[in-house]
């Protein structure tokens, strides 16, 4: 675990408010205090620095800190009138270590880039800073985000705070753990095969996968990404999105991250405050579908029980909850071919020149693309067109689709991935995430909401999905269910540490 070179290494005590008091508050509550002048952005940074010093050695979620940079940014914001400080008004934000931040060590969890200092930032990072967010840390991720278990050869493994012997999933595991343990109020993640939703589920926080183009990402300028990390990041299947402790905070960060960036041609303008305004609407979903497995994957029985019980809570609002799901038959063929091509475009040069520094799962994913022919591409693209048509038709009849966010509770940290479930052995390291990437293929907005806990106290998340570009509707439905379930008080928490789980 290391800190960025511009960090002072000191851990001051905030004078006006107790650290524990600030850490327990939500981002939306802190925003009120920031706008009234009752608390300053610098005071929040001081509280985070102290909390990280106390908690991060246990879970290893935030390997890189940049508090000197953050304080300069915060002090510059404080010179502006409050109404000119942006949506976030100086709220600190942690950034997943797949998106570069100018002047801050950015590694992608890879030994190849362990010392890379970008001279530019990702589009998403620029948008957060324009919205008044103060970036103070990078969160841990598996190498290039590959594999839903957060460990790498640069910083080591990130542990689940509910049981440090368990995985926090991935690839946005560092962000999820930071949120759950009070080392972040807001954090970013990214999602191709469930990388936002899986760790949110494993850590009892919220994670939102938006529609492609809703949040701009990719290099904003030269120097943001290394030259040999080829191509532009996948911006259709792979998206970036917000993570937070609760739905209100999630909506706040969504609004701050959304919008067009000139360096990202797929991004589009978003109405101001759309997501936060949606939380005030007196509407509810009327017809809801729940599926324990989408008909395509095994699922742990306890996960089924907890998620169906959570879905049935909507019946208390007068909603109809039915067992149903779209036809996702072609999911493996469509997803695996497209994922392989994405890895090949972005990392072929690394395989050719530095194969010995890549982990086996990344090598497998790059090499799999060599088997792909033009006939394969024609087949999966036509299959995807039919797949999307079926999904769109489904949402003409249902307002909301619910399922488990993950098919198992948190698994042992030293297990690289889930190899089997309910007697079914998976064919590769990512197949256990099928229930998440079945939705990725549609491009529809999706999120994970805390649904409950196993008999041994491990978190389980509910996946919530709505139709095309309906982020606001999804957040409003999630807020209603969050209120019914009453689980917000479970984080932030002090990690449940075990001696045999040292990072």
pLDDT tens digit string along 455-493?
999 999 999 999 999 999 999 999 999 999 999 999 999
Per-residue H/E/C for 177-224: HHHHCCCCCEEEEEECCCCCHHHHHHHCCEEEECCCCCECCCECCCCC
Instruction: Label residue 499 by pLDDT band (50, 70, 90).
Output: confident
Residue 174 has pLDDT above 80, yes or no: yes
The answer to whether 126 touches 93, Cβ cutoff 8 Å, is no
Q: How far is CA 429 from each of CA 94, 143, 355, 417, 418, rounded to the nearest angstrom?
A: 28, 14, 19, 6, 7
Q: In whole angstroms, what is the distance from residue 29 CA to residue 38 CA?
A: 11
Residues 148 and 145: their CA atoms lie apart, in Å, by 8
Looking at residue 124, its pLDDT comes to 97
> Does 496 reside within a domain?
no
Task: Check residue 11 and give its pLDDT.
Answer: 43
Average confidence (pLDDT) over 359-384: 94
Residue scoring higher pLDDT (2 or 230): 230
Longest C-alpha distance within the chain, in Å? Answer: 66
Q: Note whether residue 1 is domain-resident.
A: no
Asked if the model's pLDDT at residue 9 lies above 80, the reply is no
Residue 498 falls within a domain, yes or no?
A: no
Q: Which residues are catalytic?
A: 96, 171, 195
Residue 3 half-sphere exposure toward CB, CA atoms < 13 A: 18
Query: For residue 436, which phi and psi values (nearest 5 degrees)?
Result: -85, -50
Q: What is residue 284's predicted lDDT score, i.e. its pLDDT?
A: 81
150: preceding bond cis by omega (within 30 degrees): no
Distance set, CA 247 to CA 71, 177, 186, 244 (Å): 28, 17, 11, 7
The pLDDT of residue 4 is above 60: no
CATH number at residue 157: 3.90.1300.10
Tell me the CB-side half-sphere exposure of residue 345, using CA atoms within 13 A: 11
According to DSSP, the β-strands at 64-65 and 320-323 are unpaired
| 117 belongs to a structural domain | yes
Tokens 């799962």 appear where?
361
Q: Could you tell me the two tokens for 462?
A: 């509910």
Q: Is the dihedral of CA 36, 41, 46, 51 positive or negative?
A: positive
Give the CA-trace dihedral at 388, 474, 239, 72, to 10 degrees: 170
What is residue 60's predicted lDDT score, i.e. its pLDDT?
A: 98
User: What's residue 80's pLDDT?
Assistant: 97
The count of domains in the chain is: 1
User: Is the sign of the CA dihedral 155, 157, 159, 165 positive or negative?
Assistant: negative
Give the confidence band of 232 by pLDDT, cuts at 50, 70, 90. low
Parallel/antiparallel/unpaired status of strands 459-465 and 92-96? unpaired
Instruction: List the structure tokens of 43.
Output: 């005071």
Domain membership flag for residue 19: no
Share above pLDDT 70 across residues of the chain, in percent, rounded to a whole number: 96
Q: What is residue 336's predicted lDDT score, i.e. its pLDDT?
A: 95
Full 3-state SS string of 78-126: HCCCHHHCCCCCCCEEEEECCCCECCECCCCCCHHHCCCCCCCCEHHHH
CA-only gyration radius of the chain, Å: 21
| Domain residue limits at 57 | 40-490
The predicted structure's pLDDT at residue 295: 98
User: Encoding tokens for residue 158?
Assistant: 């990130």
Confidence of residue 196 (pLDDT cuts 50, 70, 90): very high
Residue 502: per-residue pLDDT: 60
Asked whether residue 497 is assigned to any structural domain, the reply reads no
* Phi-psi map region of 490: left, alpha, beta (phi>0 left; psi -120 to 50 alpha): alpha
What's the mean per-residue pLDDT of the chain?
A: 94
* The pLDDT of residue 501 is above 80: no
pLDDT > 70? residue 13: no
Residue 8 has pLDDT above 50, yes or no: no
Q: 215: pLDDT confidence band, cut at 50, 70 and 90?
A: very high
Q: Quick check: is 142 in a domain?
A: yes
Find the helix packing angle between 360-368 and 331-354, rounded to 10°: 110
Q: Is 208 left (phi over 0), alpha (psi -120 to 50) or beta?
A: beta
Q: Work out whether strand 239-244 and strand 186-191 pair parallel, antiparallel, or are unpaired.
A: antiparallel
| Residue 212 confidence (pLDDT) above 50 | yes
pLDDT of residue 503: 57
Q: pLDDT tier at 236 (50, 70, 90 boundaries)?
A: confident
Residue 10 has pLDDT above 80, yes or no: no
Q: Report pLDDT for 235.
A: 73
Answer whether residue 215 is part of any domain.
yes
Mean of pLDDT values over 104-128: 97
Q: What phi and psi values does residue 466 have, to the nearest 5 degrees?
A: -125, 180
Q: Is 81 exposed, middle or buried (0-12, 13-18, 19+ CB in 10 A)?
A: exposed
pLDDT in tens, 422-448: 999 999 999 999 999 999 999 999 999
Helix (H, G, I), strand (E, B) or coil at 158: coil
Q: Label residue 7 by pLDDT band (50, 70, 90).
A: very low
pLDDT at residue 230, rounded to an integer = 65
307 backbone dihedrals φ, ψ, rounded to 5°: -70, -35
Please report, rounded to a whole number, the percentage of residues in the chain having pLDDT higher than 90. Answer: 88
Residue of 17, 6, 31, 1 lying closest to 273 (CA atoms): 31
> What pLDDT is stored for residue 474 in this prediction?
96
d(CA 392, CA 444): 9
Give me the mean pLDDT over the 276-285 stretch.
86
Q: Give the pLDDT band of residue 12 (cuts 50, 70, 90).
A: very low
- The pLDDT score that the predictor gives to residue 286 is 87
- Mean pLDDT, residues 115-125 taken together: 97
Q: What's the confidence (pLDDT) of residue 181?
A: 98
Q: Compute the average pLDDT of residues 14-39.
A: 90
* 3 state DSSP class of 31: helix
């Amino acid at each position: 675990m290391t800190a960025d070179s511009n960090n002072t290494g000191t851990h001051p005590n905030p004078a006006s408010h107790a650290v524990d008091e600030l850490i327990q508050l939500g981002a939306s509550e802190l925003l009120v205090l920031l706008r009234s002048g009752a608390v300053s952005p610098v005071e929040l940074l001081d509280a985070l620095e102290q909390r990280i010093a106390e908690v991060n050695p246990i879970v290893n979620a935030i390997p890189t800190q940049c508090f000197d940079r953050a304080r300069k940014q915060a002090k510059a914001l404080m010179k502006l009138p409050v109404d000119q400080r942006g949506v976030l008004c100086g709220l600190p934000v942690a950034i997943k270590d797949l998106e570069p931040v100018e002047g801050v060590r950015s590694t992608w969890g890879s030994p190849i880039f362990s010392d890379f200092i970008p001279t530019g930032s990702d589009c998403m990072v620029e948008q957060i800073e324009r919205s008044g967010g103060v970036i103070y840390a990078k969160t841990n991720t598996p190498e290039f985000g590959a594999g839903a278990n957060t460990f790498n050869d640069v910083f080591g493994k990130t542990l689940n705070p509910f049981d440090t012997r368990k995985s926090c999933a991935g690839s946005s595991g560092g962000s999820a753990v930071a949120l759950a343990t009070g080392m972040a109020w807001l954090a970013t993640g990214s999602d191709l095969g469930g990388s936002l939703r899986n760790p949110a589920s494993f850590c009892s926080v919220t994670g939102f996968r938006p529609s492609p183009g809703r949040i701009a990402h990719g290099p904003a300028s030269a120097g943001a990404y290394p030259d040999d990390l080829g191509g532009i990041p996948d911006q259709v299947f792979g998206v970036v999105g917000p993570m937070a402790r609760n739905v209100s905070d999630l909506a706040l960060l969504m609004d701050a991250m959304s919008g067009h960036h000139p360096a990202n041609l797929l991004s589009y303008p978003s109405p101001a405050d759309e997501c936060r305004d949606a939380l005030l609407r007196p509407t509810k979903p009327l017809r809801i579908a729940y599926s324990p497995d989408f008909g395509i994957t095994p699922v742990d029985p306890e996960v089924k029980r907890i998620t169906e019980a959570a879905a049935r809570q909507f019946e208390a609002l007068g909603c109809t909850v039915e067992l149903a799901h779209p036809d996702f038959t072609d999911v493996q063929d469509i997803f695996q071919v497209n994922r392989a091509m994405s890895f090949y475009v972005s990392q072929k040069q690394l395989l050719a020149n530095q194969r010995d520094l890549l982990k086996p799962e990344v090598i497998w994913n790059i090499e799999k693309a060599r088997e792909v022919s033009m006939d394969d591409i024609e087949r999966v693209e036509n299959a995807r067109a039919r797949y999307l048509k079926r999904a769109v038709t489904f949402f003409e009849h249902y307002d909301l689709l619910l399922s488990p966010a993950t098919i198992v509770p948190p698994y042992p940290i030293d297990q690289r991935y889930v190899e089997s479930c309910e007697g079914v052995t998976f064919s590769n390291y990512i197949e256990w995430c099928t229930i998440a990437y079945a939705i990725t293929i549609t491009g529809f907005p999706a999120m994970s909401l805390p649904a409950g806990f196993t008999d041994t106290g491990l978190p389980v998340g509910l996946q919530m999905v709505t139709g095309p570009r309906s982020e606001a509707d999804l957040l409003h439905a999630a807020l209603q269910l969050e209120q019914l379930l009453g689980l917000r008080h479970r984080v932030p928490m002090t990690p449940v540490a075990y001696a045999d789980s040292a990072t």
